[in-house]
Amino acid sequence: MKQLARWGKAAEDAVLVLLLGAMIVLACSQIVLRNFFDAGLIWGDEALRLMVLWLALAGAVAASRADKHIAIDVMSRFLPPWGRRLTRVATNLFTAVVCGCVAWFAADFVLQAREYEDELLGGLPAWWFQIIMPIAFALMSWRYLVFVILDIAGRRSESERSVSDA
Amino acid sequence: MIVFGALLLLLAIFGAPLFALIAASALYSYSREDIDLSALAIEFFSIAEMPVLLAIPLFTFAGYLLSASKAPSRLVRLTDALLGWMPGGLAIVSLAACAFFTAFTGASGVTIIALGAILYPALKQSGYEPKFNLGLVTSAGSLGLLFAPSLPLILYGIVAGISIDTLFRAGVLPGMLMLAMLAGWCLWVNRDQKQTLKRFSWKTVGSALWESKWELPLPIVVLGGIYSGYFAVSEAAAVTALYALIVEVIVLREISFKQLPDLMRESMLLVGGILVILGMSLASTNIMIDTGVPQKLLGWVSGFVDTQTSFLILLLLFLLVLGAILDIFSALVLVVPLILPVAAQYNIDPVHLGMVFLSAMQLGYLTPPVGLNLFIASYRFERPITEVYSATFPFLLILLLSVIVITFWPQLSMALV
């Protein structure tokens, strides 16, 4: 389990670093090409937009691991520890179910796109790029399910999730 | 429907992630309207169809890079050399430096962490009262939201469909007003205080300038490029990210290659968190517009509000409450599409609405129960949260006054547009 977590985090980091690095390089070379050579990669702008989607979802998966998604959470700090654990199980279970649903319907969307042979980047199958959506939401669903299991088993200490964590 | 809404609300106040709540409500509305639920994914995918969004990861990353380097202390030294000779100088230095830094790093609380740590002890050393310092540093941490290239400004432009250059010009005067009113307050409070004033010297300015030589071109290129129309916003973001990367990692070597993956990860956590909410709210907003929620809202509002002034009063009250419970990014993507058509009926320009919205939401950083800056300051300076509340309160009142001026004086927002 620990091993799995380490591999998972390394994979997330690798994806984030590669995407962000590629994005900076590509965006800057587009500027140079446009201004100095009056040219540009035809697929460049579209690729950059797809990278934003991928980066957003990879970042969202990473945010799930760190339990750092934007939330309102005004009540938790008034609860005793057992109450906090209870509401955490409820909200995390809810999130796991919602992410699961989103992953399911996103997979449906990808299958449809594959069936209709939608294309992106001048000829590549669109589903290659869209498949990140079901994958990312499935991973997030899994992540929140792990939180639920750990909380029920009492294996998640308070310090792992402090309310005022900046 | 009511039961479902109440359930979501309950989950929300106990800390369920906002994106999941929005997704659940979108899926629920789709199924009520008999729309294929995979439409949610189609809406979400439109994140890949908005060119301006590219600016968000790039500016955020650049901001994280700059905060992790020694750029904050160089910025404070330079502002101090330029403004430190005035009475109340260091207080004004703090305001100016924070506003500048927040504009570049995007109001995520990094300003308090990066600059507060330098300013808080420096203020104390110059003889300002501890309570004043705490309030000043906490409230200055969200100044600068209205200045280019702040993330909330960009996001408002995306959501409202307004050119971002226009917003960048519109924000200048309202942002200056907020700064000037806070500066005036700082001078007034400290009028009898004995402080050790520094003498202005060209030599100090020169050496502070020399020290910041690598960062100085950044605001000039970015702001100059954007305001002159030479760069698109996303291009300016790309240049900023690459330049900050080269300067801090290769030239100055203040950030090692080893630190980079962690910095990238940290900054992309925030980006992922914001964009996944944006993606879900694209879906939920569309279904709300299709089912006529803005019209119903307008019908309800026009029942007891008939003039522009009374609408603005109502809007302001609503935004103050909203800002107290919701963070600025979520509020932007969720609420702006719904109030834009309503505000248009009362002849409010979307640019002016943006200034009102952002400046009012800025107060949300400082209002209990969830004001982010209050918690960060309490955590960072190890003061009890109640003390931070009371220290920040006078500053909050001044800022509230400035928001009222911005709301009822539209020319201020429209003068440079």
The predicted-structure confidence for B212-249, as pLDDT tens digits, reads as follows 888 888 888 888 888 787 888 888 889 999 999 999 99
Q: Which residues lie below 8 Å from residue A87, measured CB to CB, with a gap of 6+?
A: A75, A76, A79, B14, B15
User: Taking residues B382-395, what's their average pLDDT?
Assistant: 90
Backbone angles phi, psi at B109, to 5 degrees: 90, -5
The predicted-structure confidence for B272-314, as pLDDT tens digits, reads as follows 998 999 999 988 888 888 888 888 888 888 888 889 999 999 9
CA–CA distance, B360 with B321 (Å, rounded to integer): 10
Please answer whether residues B249 and B255 qualify as being in contact, where contact means their C-beta atoms are separated by less than 8 angstroms.
yes
Residue of A nearest to B377 (CA): A166
For residue B408, give the 3-state DSSP assignment: helix
Please give the pLDDT value at position B84. Answer: 80
Residues of chain A with Cβ-Cβ distance to B37 below 8 Å are: 101, 105, 108
Is the bond preceding residue B369 a cis peptide, omega within 30 degrees?
Answer: yes
Residue B324: closest CA among B378, B255, B389, B383: B389
- DSSP output for B151-171: HHHHHHHHHHT--HHHHHHHT
Structure tokens at B305: 């509000």
pLDDT confidence band for B197 (50 / 70 / 90): low
Residue B152: closest CA among B411, B337, B331: B331
The predicted-structure confidence for A39-92, as pLDDT tens digits, reads as follows 778 788 899 999 999 999 999 999 999 888 888 777 777 888 888 889 999 999
Taking the CB of residue B130, how many other CB atoms lie within 10 A of it?
14
Q: Which residues lie below 8 Å from residue B199, measured CB to CB, with a gap of 6+?
A: B85
Residue of A nearest to B52 (CA): A49
Structure tokens at B183: 């500066």
Q: Quickly tell me which residue has 């994958």 as its tokens.
A: A135
User: Taking residues B174-190, what's their average pLDDT?
Assistant: 92
Tell me if chain A has a CB within 8 Å of the CB of B15.
yes
Structure tokens at B310: 């009374």
Residue ranges of A 121-140 with Cβ closer than 8 A to chain B? 129-130, 133
pLDDT confidence band for A164 (50 / 70 / 90): very low
**Rg of the Cα trace of chain A?**
20
Q: Residue A45: which of B18, B51, B379 has the nearest Cβ? A: B51
HSE-CB at B390 with a 13 A cutoff on CA atoms is 6
Please answer whether residues A139 and A12 qualify as being in contact, where contact means their C-beta atoms are separated by less than 8 angstroms.
no
Interface predicted TM-score (ipTM) of this complex, two decimals: 0.90
| Three-state SS letters, B260-277 | HHHHHHHHHHHHHHHHHH
Beta bridge partners of B185: none
The predicted-structure confidence for B84-102, as pLDDT tens digits, reads as follows 887 778 888 889 889 988 8
Query: Do B17 and A69 lie within an 8 Å CB cutoff?
Result: yes
For the CA atoms of B103, B106, B107, B113, the dihedral, rounded to the nearest 10 degrees, stands at -90
Whether the per-residue pLDDT at B54 is higher than 80: the answer is: yes
Please give the pLDDT value at position A161. Answer: 46
The predicted-structure confidence for A1-43, as pLDDT tens digits, reads as follows 678 888 888 888 899 999 999 999 999 998 888 878 877 787 8
Residue from B4, B9, B10, B19 to probe the interface with A (highest A Cβ count within 10 Å): B19
Q: Which residues lie below 8 Å from residue B406, measured CB to CB, with a gap of 6+?
A: B174, B177, B178, B355, B356, B359, B412, B413
Query: Do B272 and A61 lie within an 8 Å CB cutoff?
Result: yes
Query: Do B245 and A60 lie within an 8 Å CB cutoff?
Result: no
| Three-state SS letters, B233-297 | HHHHHHHHHHHHHHHHHHHCCCCCCCCHHHHHHHHHHHHHHHHHHHHHHHHHHHHHHHCCHHHHH
Tell me if chain B has a CB within 8 Å of the CB of A148.
no
User: Taking residues B119-146, what's their average pLDDT?
Assistant: 88
Query: Do A91 and B239 lie within an 8 Å CB cutoff?
Result: no
Please give the pLDDT value at position A70. Answer: 85
Residue B150: closest CA among B112, B117, B108: B108
Residue from B18, B47, B258 to probe the interface with A (highest A Cβ count within 10 Å): B47
Residue of A nearest to B245 (CA): A24
CA–CA distance, A30 with A21 (Å, rounded to integer): 14
